[in-house]
Structure 1
Amino acid sequence: MNLPLQASEKKDPFKGAASFSLSHRLTRILWYFTWALLASWTPAPLHRWRVFLLKLFGAKIHTTAHVYSSVKIWYPANLIMDEHACLAPYVNCYNMNIIHIGEKAIVSQYATLCGGTHDIRDPKFQLITKPIIIEKGAWVAANAFIGPGVTMAEYSVVGACGVVFKNTVPNGIYVGNPAQFVKMREFKND
């Protein structure tokens, strides 16, 4: 005899349970096709058009933000971009939670911003999402990975291919896997 599933069993991904509601998943499918048909092929200068499409799907994004056509954005409603913030070509913005990119912050080509992970202690491997904050003037260099819950402080830098799972300090420069602090960022006086 089959017994009804317990509430906790209904969220078992190994039994096909979804982590997000049906309406959320349908919105993401609609977003995927909208971006593919109306944005993914557009030339680089059409940032305002891509910003417009992101806003239609709930992104809180300044009109001066730069989002390139090859960027992958998982869920626009979880994206916040301030003035002159940039998602460079081929960035993977896996924003299962809020990702906030501050004023003049740059996320360079092929970088990954990953707002989700799984609880490895839970036999059901439940999804955990945490926000990522890239503060004003910070730079995520090419191919870097920023993990869930990380705040990159103002003007901090993570070097190419760096992997960050802990918050950075303002003006700190980090390199490696896992990324380690190497020195403070110094600005030239003009």
Structure 2
Amino acid sequence: MIPKANLHAPVYGWQNKFARTCWSLVYYTLFRLSPTPLFGFRRQLLRFFGARIGNQANIYPSAQIWLPANLEMASGATLGPRVQVYNQGYIKIGKNAIVSQGAHLCASTHDYDDPLHPLVLAPVTIGANAWVCADAFIGPGVDVGEGAVIGARSVLMKTAAAWQVYAGNPARAIKQRAPFGGQQ
């Protein structure tokens, strides 16, 4: 039998909920309504809320970020239009990586074997020079290797090897990608 005290225990404390409420107010007024070219302004807003954002990272105003404090982006990384960053768990995006329009990064799931379905945090890492194409879904706990390409509308639920191209649902490696810039 499940103790009644655990049935309605909050997953997140009041500090987290307060931070997300403040972020929502800023997101829907300043971030979302900012003109597209103001990438530096949006970087500063995210940094104010605890994100670790490298210089020259580009975040489009329609990208949705659940909790900035759980986001790290290296210099030159891009979050395109309408990207969903559902980062209850930590999400790290490497240098010059691109997450294209409509893609969804999800860093949490639920334990479906437990009747209460508790939250399980599982970080997501997008390697340097990787490309998550339009409308792709990257699941919890997934590492996208350096230079990997996850094709449009693909669903990736397992680690993607470096410099491989993946496509489909579920995503499968379909070909090797040539490293550029002398990288291996």
* TM bracket (short chain): over 0.9
Structure 2: stretches of 5+ with no match in the other structure? none
Give the Å deviation of 1:9. Answer: 4.2
Q: 2:58 — aligned with what?
A: 66
Q: Residues 96-140 of structure 1: CA distance to partner in whole angstroms, max 9, x if unpaired? A: 111000000000000000011110100111110110000100000
- Return the match for 1:110 from 99, 102, 105: 102
- Distance, in Å, in 2 between the alignment partners of 1:10 and 1:61 is 39
1:55 paired with 2:55, answer: no
Checking the alignment, whether the CA contact within 8 Å between 1:131 and 1:148 is kept in structure 2 is yes
Give the Å deviation of 1:188. Answer: 7.4
- Distance, in Å, in 2 between the alignment partners of 1:60 and 1:86 is 14
Q: 2:78 — aligned with what?
A: 86
- 2:22 alignment partner, SS class: helix
Q: 2:165 — aligned with what?
A: 173
Checking the alignment, whether the CA contact within 8 Å between 2:142 and 2:157 is kept in structure 1 is yes
Q: 1:160 — aligned with what?
A: 152
Give the Å deviation of 1:186. Answer: 2.4
Change (3 A) 1:79 1:188: closer
Identity among equivalent pairs (%): 40
Which AA in structure 1 matches 2:36? A
Task: Report 1:1-20 matches (<5 A).
Answer: 9-12=4-7, 16-20=8-12
Which AA in structure 2 matches 1:163? V
Task: Report 1:134-145 matches (<5 A).
Answer: 134-145=126-137
- Distance, in Å, in 2 between the alignment partners of 1:51 and 1:8 is 44
Checking the alignment, whether the CA contact within 8 Å between 1:11 and 1:19 is kept in structure 2 is no
Checking the alignment, whether the CA contact within 8 Å between 1:81 and 1:103 is kept in structure 2 is yes
Give the Å deviation of 1:50. Answer: 0.2
Give the Å deviation of 1:180. Answer: 0.7
The TM-score with structure 2 as length reference comes to 0.94
The TM-score with structure 1 as length reference comes to 0.91
Checking the alignment, whether the CA contact within 8 Å between 1:115 and 1:129 is kept in structure 2 is yes
Structure 1: stretches of 5+ with no match in the other structure? 1-5
Checking the alignment, whether the CA contact within 8 Å between 2:163 and 2:179 is kept in structure 1 is no
Q: Residues 37-79 of structure 1: CA distance to partner in whole angstroms, max 9, x if unpaired? A: 1110111110000000000000000121000000100000000
Give the Å deviation of 1:22. Answer: 1.0
Give the Å deviation of 1:7. Answer: 9.2
- 1:155 alignment partner, SS class: coil
- Distance, in Å, in 2 between the alignment partners of 1:171 and 1:28 is 36
1:99 paired with 2:94, answer: no
Change (3 A) 1:121 1:56: same
- Distance, in Å, in 1 between the alignment partners of 2:147 and 2:180 is 14
Checking the alignment, whether the CA contact within 8 Å between 1:89 and 1:108 is kept in structure 2 is yes
